[in-house]
């Protein structure tokens, strides 16, 4: 996934996690997934088969899931699956001989974050079977946390409805009853029945030429963790980008998408050259409506992407490099639990920077490294120390809230540190061996550490040892010898911000035409805190920040507008909040309004008007933050 959350909410989340932190005090096991009810040590799923009807009127998926199960513990009698708000009908066990028997089931106690365990008793007739099928008839709830049902008016075309999923971190259980933990990998197949004029796509073998007929078949022959299950249905069309790559989008967005993501095939070719073979066949993008909650989601073979990247100048495509890089780190080698999330996100952020460097050059990637480093430094000021380790203790809270810059940016910096220590050639060699050794497996931080130790740290020439690495993995903050990214072009932008504020140069003399959007972001963030509103007005008039087409510049500007209470731009700030639904672009703007001491009620009023267009995950996150925000004195 590509999203680093704003920090303040993380802090609130961590603090509430600390309060709850008594339940597992004694026997914390870093390898255990505390966010799943599934008894995976007794039963493990090997294949999932779905047959589902997509009902836009009822806002539900309904049909059948069949799980191919293997019993690991001969004494085990109950299978526990993860569910959230699923209505379960008939449950049957399919025996190896072809017979099937009805199974009893019951729900366990619900948990606000984890959902509800479904406990299926194995009938007597199945007691001796090691391999069997578990078939469940079910329907989803209209409020499924994974699914957003968009009425036609919230799509680009305005004529057809759309639905799409977001399963990471623990939302697959709200559209399929299953063992919802990254520790279990499954292959899957699906038949999806839709209104005939719409197209269904999944994180599977999409056929770009599939005729529209209201019934679509999918096969995913490579084993994936449940958080990579994905579906979207809508008025979606395909256009090729390269030999193996293409883009799906509503027809209204297709041309712009083809232009913006034209470098995708080259990214894939370069990624193969550096990290080893791409193992998934095709790589396509699906550009979703604005309410898609994240920058991108690395659903295998078909990354889901926010339309906020359509800046018209390819300046925001690092998100595509990121999602593509997940085809190695995350999708191929997967974190065993959400506590090891840096193995997915830190590694991917590092690979992303390598791809950006080879395609767009060092200046561009230096800029992106510095911006991400600065977000990290801000986070380190507020995140409680015990949550600053790359692999902290994580047994309470909501894994969705655990995606701060620690996993992304500190993880990236750690890998940069290893590259610096061993040299790029040797480190690339290590990475290829890592992807090769653990392909289609899930691993813990401890296993990574052992592999690194054997592969690099123990070499006689190594200048760093296991203790240095353990400091990164298990200690707060940054080690003293951590890399410090720098960017010549961002330094220039910062110096110009100071000169302009001191009236040494005029607005017209700021060389914005030669700047990247990243330099512009840095310029805005470098403006002195005490700048009066008339000077902000001058800047906005001269450089047109409030009307920018670039979502990242808009985000940065409107955060400052809210923090500084630059009220003349509030109307356009509200337009920004209505135009985008991606959490990164709007959440910190709401938060800045809520925390400027005057505008909490205004933030709540703007949210009340806009929230119908937001995704359930984004909506819940903003609602929570605005509820708990304190009114200024
Ligand atoms: Zn990611």
Residue 368 lies inside a defined structural domain of this protein:
yes
Report residue 17's pLDDT band, with 50, 70 and 90 as the boundaries: very low
Residue 85 and residue 203 share a domain: yes
pLDDT score recorded for residue 135: 98
Residue 467 and residue 556 share a domain: no
pLDDT score recorded for residue 402: 75
Domain boundary among 276, 305, 323: 323
CA terminus-to-terminus distance, the chain:
38
| Mean of all residue pLDDT scores within the chain | 94
For tokens 């072809």, the residue is 98
Annotated active-site residue in 3, 60, 260, 323: 323
Residue 196 and residue 179 share a domain: yes
Q: 344 C-alpha to center of ligand 1: Å?
A: 7
Within a 10 A sphere around the Cβ of 40, how many other Cβ atoms? 16
Residue 522 and residue 465 share a domain: no
- Give the CATH number of the domain where residue 459 resides: 1.10.390.10
Q: Average of pLDDT values for 439-460?
A: 97
| Beta carbons of 174 and 65 less than 8 angstroms apart | no
- Residue 540 and residue 566: Cα distance in Å, rounded? 11
- Residue 544 and residue 427: Cα distance in Å, rounded? 44
Running DSSP on this structure, what letter comes out for residue 632?
P
Residue 600 and residue 535 share a domain: yes
- Give the CATH number of the domain where residue 573 resides: 1.25.40.320
Q: 320 C-alpha to center of ligand 1: Å?
A: 10
pLDDT score recorded for residue 334: 98
| Beta carbons of 600 and 632 less than 8 angstroms apart | yes
Annotated active-site residue in 105, 408, 417, 434: 408
pLDDT score recorded for residue 629: 86
Q: 436 C-alpha to center of ligand 1: Å?
A: 20
Residue 417 and residue 522 share a domain: no
- Residue 117 and residue 82: Cα distance in Å, rounded? 5
Residue 9 lies inside a defined structural domain of this protein:
no
Q: 348 C-alpha to center of ligand 1: Å?
A: 6
Residue 479 lies inside a defined structural domain of this protein:
no
Q: 576 C-alpha to center of ligand 1: Å?
A: 24
Residue 409 lies inside a defined structural domain of this protein:
yes
Q: 207 C-alpha to center of ligand 1: Å?
A: 25
Residue 25 confidence (pLDDT) above 80? no
Within a 10 A sphere around the Cβ of 382, how many other Cβ atoms? 12
Domain boundary among 425, 450, 474: 474
| Beta carbons of 464 and 457 less than 8 angstroms apart | yes
Those residues with Cβ within 8 angstroms of residue 458's Cβ, 6 or more apart along the chain or in another chain: none
- Give the CATH number of the domain where residue 245 resides: 2.60.40.1730
pLDDT digits over 210-258, tens only?
999 999 999 999 999 999 999 999 999 999 999 999 999 999 999 999 9
Residue 403 confidence (pLDDT) above 80? no
Residue 603 confidence (pLDDT) above 80? yes
DSSP letter for each residue of 86-137: -EEEEEEEE-TTS-EEE--EEE---BTTTBEEEEEEPPGGGTT-SEEEEEEE
Q: Which of 131-135, 178-182, 392-396, 568-572 has the lowest mean pLDDT?
A: 392-396
Residue 278 confidence (pLDDT) above 80? yes
Q: 85 C-alpha to center of ligand 1: Å?
A: 27
Q: 323 C-alpha to center of ligand 1: Å?
A: 6
At 502 the three-state DSSP class reads coil
| Beta carbons of 389 and 410 less than 8 angstroms apart | no
Residue 213 lies inside a defined structural domain of this protein:
yes
pLDDT score recorded for residue 22: 46
- Residue 186 and residue 360: Cα distance in Å, rounded? 36
Note if 408 is an active site residue: yes
Q: Average of pLDDT values for 522-544?
A: 96
Domain boundary among 262, 290, 323: 323
Total number of domains in the chain: 3
Q: 340 C-alpha to center of ligand 1: Å?
A: 13
Residue 230 and residue 250 share a domain: yes
Note if 323 is an active site residue: yes
The CA-atom distances, in angstroms, between 471 and each of 120, 389, 391, 480, 482 are 44, 8, 11, 10, 11
Residue 319 and residue 220 share a domain: yes
Residue 8 confidence (pLDDT) above 70? no
Residue 399 lies inside a defined structural domain of this protein:
yes
Residue 13 confidence (pLDDT) above 90? no
Residue 516 and residue 407 share a domain: no
Residue 293 lies inside a defined structural domain of this protein:
yes
Q: 372 C-alpha to center of ligand 1: Å?
A: 14
Q: 402 C-alpha to center of ligand 1: Å?
A: 13
Domain region containing 520: 488-628
Residue 157 and residue 186 share a domain: yes
Residue 597 and residue 523 share a domain: yes
The CA-atom distances, in angstroms, between 305 and each of 165, 198, 207, 257, 369 are 12, 19, 19, 10, 21
- Residue 358 and residue 272: Cα distance in Å, rounded? 12
Residue 386 and residue 286 share a domain: no
Residue 623 confidence (pLDDT) above 80? yes
pLDDT digits over 135-182, tens only?
999 999 999 999 999 999 999 999 999 999 999 999 999 999 999 999
Peptide bond before 260: cis, by omega within 30 degrees of 0? no
Residue 450 lies inside a defined structural domain of this protein:
yes
Report residue 630's pLDDT band, with 50, 70 and 90 as the boundaries: confident
Running DSSP on this structure, what letter comes out for residue 409?
I
Residue 3 confidence (pLDDT) above 90? no
Residue 376's H or E segment, with its range, is helix 362-382
pLDDT score recorded for residue 323: 98
């Amino acid at each position: 996934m590509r999203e680093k959350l704003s920090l303040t909410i993380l802090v609130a989340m961590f603090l509430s996690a600390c309060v709850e932190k008594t339940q597992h005090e004694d026997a914390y096991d870093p390898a255990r997934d505390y966010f799943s009810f599934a008894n995976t040590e007794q039963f493990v799923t090997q294949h999932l088969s779905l047959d589902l009807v997509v009902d836009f009127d009822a806002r539900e998926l309904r049909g059948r899931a069949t799980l191919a199960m293997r019993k690991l513990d001969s004494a085990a009698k109950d299978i526990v699956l993860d569910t959230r708000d699923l209505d379960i009908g008939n449950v049957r066990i399919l025996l190896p001989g072809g017979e099937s028997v009805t199974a009893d089931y019951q729900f366990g106690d619900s948990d606000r974050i984890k959902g509800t365990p479904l406990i299926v008793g194995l009938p007597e007739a199945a007691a001796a079977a090691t391999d069997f099928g578990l078939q469940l008839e079910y329907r989803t709830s209209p409020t499924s946390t994974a699914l957003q049902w968009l009425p036609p008016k919230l799509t680009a075309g305005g004529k057809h409805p759309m639905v799409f999923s977001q399963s990471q971190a623990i939302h697959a259980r709200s559209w399929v009853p299953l063992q919802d933990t990254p520790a279990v990998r499954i292959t899957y197949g699906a038949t999806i029945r839709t209104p005939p004029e719409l197209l269904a796509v999944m994180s599977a073998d999409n056929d770009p030429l599939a005729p529209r007929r209201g019934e679509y078949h999918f096969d995913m022959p490579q084993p994936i963790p449940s958080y990579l299950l994905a579906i979207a249905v809508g008025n979606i069309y395909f256009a090729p980008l390269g030999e193996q790559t293409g883009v799906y989008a509503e027809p209204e967005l297709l041309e712009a998408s083809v232009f913006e993501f034209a470098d995708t095939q080259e990214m894939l070719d370069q990624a193969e050259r550096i990290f080893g073979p791409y193992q998934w066949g095709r790589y396509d993008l699906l550009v979703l409506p604005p309410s898609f909650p994240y920058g991108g989601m690395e659903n295998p073979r078909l990354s889901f992407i926010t339309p906020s990247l359509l800046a018209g100048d390819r300046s925001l495509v690092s998100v595509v490099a990121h999602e593509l890089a997940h085809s190695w780190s995350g999708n191929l080698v997967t974190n065993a639990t959400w506590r090891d999330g840096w193995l997915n996100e830190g590694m991917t952020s590092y690979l992303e920077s390598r791809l950006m460097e080879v395609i767009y050059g060092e200046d561009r990637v230096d800029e992106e490294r510095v911006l991400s480093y600065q977000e990290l430094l801000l986070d380190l000021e507020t995140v409680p120390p015990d949550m600053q380790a790359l692999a902290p203790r994580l047994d309470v809270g909501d894994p969705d809230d655990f995606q701060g810059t620690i996993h992304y940016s500190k993880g990236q910096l750690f890998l940069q540190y290893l590259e610096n220590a061993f040299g790029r050639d040797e480190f690339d060699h290590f990475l290829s061996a890592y992807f090769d050794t653990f392909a289609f497996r899930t691993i813990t931080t401890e296993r990574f550490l052992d592999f690194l130790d054997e592969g690099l740290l123990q070499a006689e020439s190594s200048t760093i040892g296991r203790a240095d690495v353990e400091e990164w993995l298990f200690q707060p903050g940054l080690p003293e010898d951590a890399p410090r990214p720098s960017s010549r072009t961002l330094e220039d932008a910062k110096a110009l911000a100071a000169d302009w504020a001191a009236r040494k140069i005029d607005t017209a003399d700021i060389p914005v035409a030669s700047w990247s959007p990243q330099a512009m972001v840095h310029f805005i963030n470098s403006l002195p805190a005490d700048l009066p509103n008339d000077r902000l007005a001058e800047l906005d008039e001269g450089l047109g920040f409030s009307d920018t087409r670039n979502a990242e510049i808009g985000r940065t500007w409107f955060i400052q507008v809210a923090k500084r209470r630059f009220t003349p731009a509030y109307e356009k700030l509200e337009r920004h909040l209505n135009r985008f639904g991606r959490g990164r672009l709007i959440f910190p703007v709401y938060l800045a309004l809520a925390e400027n001491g005057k505008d909490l009620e205004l933030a709540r009023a703007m949210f009340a008007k806009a929230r119908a267009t937001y995704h359930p995950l984004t909506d819940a996150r903003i609602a929570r933050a605005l509820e708990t925000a304190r009114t200024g004195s």
